[in-house]
């Protein structure tokens, strides 16, 4: 039975690297995969998933209006799909997460989602909240804080290096994110609130 998976972590834990490795394993066995990512990471109109380690792959772009089920059904007209991989899954809408569940349940294709759990304010992203609620399998990917403890939170820093406590939930281009354990995130946020 196909399942909906959510692999989540703080920034810089290697989520995209793990996704690309898993997709490569499928493809190496002669299986067909479909890779998708948020349009927020588009280079012009081209989608790609890339890792800080220098590996990458082309991907279908998704925005808040994308019909994931329809994209998959169109791909199935070409050939069978063995697995679907979605990077930056925190940016999915609630409805898109349900579409992913229906793909697993009704089309029998596993859907592997990778993304952040929380934003810089410590709040769940819409897609992450829904994935945590309905995914069949949850997996935390770990990274570490500067102190050596497990990092579960991120702070957003301005270009000048000051910690930000306000702003839009998503800011891909202008900010730097630092992964911290909950204790050090709380200390950092307490200084700016």
Q: Which residues belong to the active site?
A: 88
Q: Work out the number of other CB atoms within 10 angstroms of the CB of residue 19.
A: 26
Q: Is 7 left (phi over 0), alpha (psi -120 to 50) or beta?
A: beta
Rounding to the nearest 10 degrees, give the CA dihedral for residues 154, 177, 10, 192. 0
Distances (CA, A) of 114 to 26, 36, 143, 147, 154: 16, 10, 14, 25, 16
**Residue 62 is inside which H or E element, if any?**
strand 60-62
Distances (CA, A) of 67 to 64, 88, 129, 168: 9, 16, 19, 25
Tokens of 169: 């939930």
Distance between CA atoms of residues 174 and 140, nearest Å? 27
């Amino acid at each position: 039975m196909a399942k909906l998976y959510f692999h989540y972590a703080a920034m810089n834990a290697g989520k995209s690297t793990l996704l690309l490795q898993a997709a490569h394993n499928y493809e190496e066995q002669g299986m067909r995969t479909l890779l998708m990512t948020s349009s927020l990471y588009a280079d012009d109109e081209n989608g790609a998933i890339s890792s800080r380690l220098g590996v990458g792959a082309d991907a279908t772009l998704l925005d808040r209006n994308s019909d994931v089920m329809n994209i998959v059904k169109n791909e199935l007209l070409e050939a069978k799909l063995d697995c679907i991989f979605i990077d930056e899954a925190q940016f999915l809408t609630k409805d898109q997460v349900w579409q992913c569940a229906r793909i697993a349940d009704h089309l029998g294709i596993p859907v592997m989602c990778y993304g952040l759990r929380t934003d810089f304010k410590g709040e769940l992203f819409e897609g992450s909240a829904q994935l945590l609620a309905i995914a069949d399998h949850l997996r935390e990917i770990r990274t570490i804080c500067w102190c050596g403890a497990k990092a579960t939170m991120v702070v957003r820093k301005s270009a000048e290096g000051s910690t930000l406590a306000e702003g839009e939930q998503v800011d891909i281009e202008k900010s730097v994110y630092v992964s911290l354990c909950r204790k050090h995130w709380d200390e950092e946020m307490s200084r700016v609130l």
